[in-house]
Structure 1
Amino acid sequence: MNKLTPGKLVIATHNKGKLREIQALLAPYGMECLAAGDLGLPEPAETGTTFAENALIKAHAAAQAAHLPALADDSGLCVVALDGAPGVYTADWAEAAPYEGGPGRDWYMAMGKVEGKIAEKGPSTPRDCWFACTLAIAWPDGSEAVYEGRAPGTLTWPPRGTLGFGYDPVFVPTGDTRTFAELDPAEKHAISHRADAFAKLVAAQFE
């Protein structure tokens, strides 16, 4: 199996929040993270029906275009009462009016949509959920590796906090009373779904 070595690594995302988290998690391992957006790489169509399929699509596209190893993340919120939705369609639920340069994302609207669907099921509906993260690494020769992580929690309403992104303001991790958006980034990095997936990646790639 291929292994990552200190040097350049393309991060196949145009999401600046994800990019910051990934850069922070990889910093100790000598990786020079290059954003796909900064390299002008196009975003491939995410046609998969699982997090792993979509992560691999993005990683392979970036690795082939940049001729460098590439890391892609596909992650989302999965709500038990909604049969795992929004899941792989997490970002789609935030689609808003397009702006110049790309699609709009209205995360407050997306959080409201989740809350509305739970409310439709009645006040006693369980609010259990989890954040899922799949990390895929692809090399220019076609090799690949996949690592999956989870962070369990419950949903709260109304949204609280300003430090996170996406659905973070309504997600309360198990064992805490604060939302991900109320946690210091270092605290979130220690317990997040992305951290769980990264721990598995690090054990396989760097240890």
Structure 2
Amino acid sequence: MRRSYDVMFVSSNRHKYSESQEILESFGISLGFFRSDLLEIQSDSVYEIAKNKALDAYAKCKKPVIIEDDALVVKSLSGFPGPYSSYVFKTIGNAGIVDLVKKSRAAHFSAVIAFCDKKKKPVLFEGITHGAISKKPKGRGWGYDPIFIPAGKTQTYAELEEKNAVSHRYRALAKFASWFANRQ
């Protein structure tokens, strides 16, 4: 018997899904996973990338979906890698970012959650967590988690047990959950 979900998370990244599922469960929303590589347009706007991904996700899944696109924004690097975070991670990784940061280590992480259903008008929710880039990768985690220290903390996302309570993803999903509960 197939389980019915409130919404499907479409991504090729199981880590993002697992964190999102745990977060949305706390809001009473059941989240399924639809594994798919999504069309990612080249844009300087995380919002435009997320909107296009959401439309592609709905076209593939044919159920209400959410996708996430995120950006690591380093102030001293003029906002780099920003919307190119995934590509930059694949090419130079955490060590490359740490090597590039010579001045201010100030940074923020932004997550944009895009919801799309049969209306085909994506609705977007952004969450931002300010912080800094560590001097070296610390902890066991995925993506940029070993080098991002959220404001008010001394540990990287990868070292924090309560990452889901302070992350950019949590902030965006909390906004989505509030909207989702009150729509209709």
Indicate whether the TM-score tops 0.5.
Answer: yes
Runs of 4 or more off by more than 3 Å in structure 1?
Answer: 28-32
Is residue 138 from structure 1 mapped to residue 113 from structure 2 by the alignment? no
Residues 11 and 37 in structure 2, CA contact (< 8 A), matched pair in contact too: no
Alignment of 1:1-207 (within 5 A): 7-37=5-35, 41-96=36-91, 109-119=92-102, 125-162=103-140, 164-184=141-161, 187-207=162-182
Mark the runs of 5 or more structure 1 residues left unpaired by the alignment: 1-5, 97-108, 120-124
Deviation at 1:17, TM superposition (A): 1.1
Deviation at 1:30, TM superposition (A): 4.8
Letter in 2 for 1:87: G
Deviation string, structure 1 residues 71-129 (Cα, Å, up to 9, x no partner): 01000210000011101000101225xxxxxxxxxxxx41122122223xxxxx11100
Letter in 2 for 1:194: R
Supply the distance in 2 between the matched residues of 1:94 and 1:177 (Cα, whole angstroms).
23
Supply the distance in 1 between the matched residues of 2:32 and 2:66 (Cα, whole angstroms).
10
Supply the distance in 2 between the matched residues of 1:133 and 1:69 (Cα, whole angstroms).
19
Residues 12 and 58 in structure 1, CA contact (< 8 A), matched pair in contact too: no
Which of structures 1 and 2 has the bigger CA Rg? 1
Deviation at 1:47, TM superposition (A): 2.8
Deviation string, structure 1 residues 14-38 (Cα, Å, up to 9, x no partner): 111111111111224554433231x
CA RMSD in angstroms, aligned pairs only: 1.8
Residues 161 and 179 in structure 1, CA contact (< 8 A), matched pair in contact too: yes
Supply the distance in 2 between the matched residues of 1:182 and 1:94 (Cα, whole angstroms).
19
Deviates more, 1:41-50 or 1:52-61: 41-50
Deviation at 1:143, TM superposition (A): 2.6
Supply the distance in 1 between the matched residues of 2:77 and 2:138 (Cα, whole angstroms).
22
With the length of structure 1 as denominator, give the TM-score of the two structures: 0.80
Supply the distance in 2 between the matched residues of 1:34 and 1:200 (Cα, whole angstroms).
19
Residues 58 and 64 in structure 2, CA contact (< 8 A), matched pair in contact too: yes
SS at structure 2 position matched to 1:141: coil
**CA 1:78–1:42 in 2, change beyond 3 Å: closer, same or farther?**
closer
Mark the runs of 5 or more structure 2 residues left unpaired by the alignment: none
SS at structure 1 position matched to 2:143: coil
Deviation string, structure 1 residues 110-159 (Cα, Å, up to 9, x no partner): 1122122223xxxxx11100011111001122132111110000111211
The equivalent residue for 1:105 is: none
With the length of structure 2 as denominator, give the TM-score of the two structures: 0.89
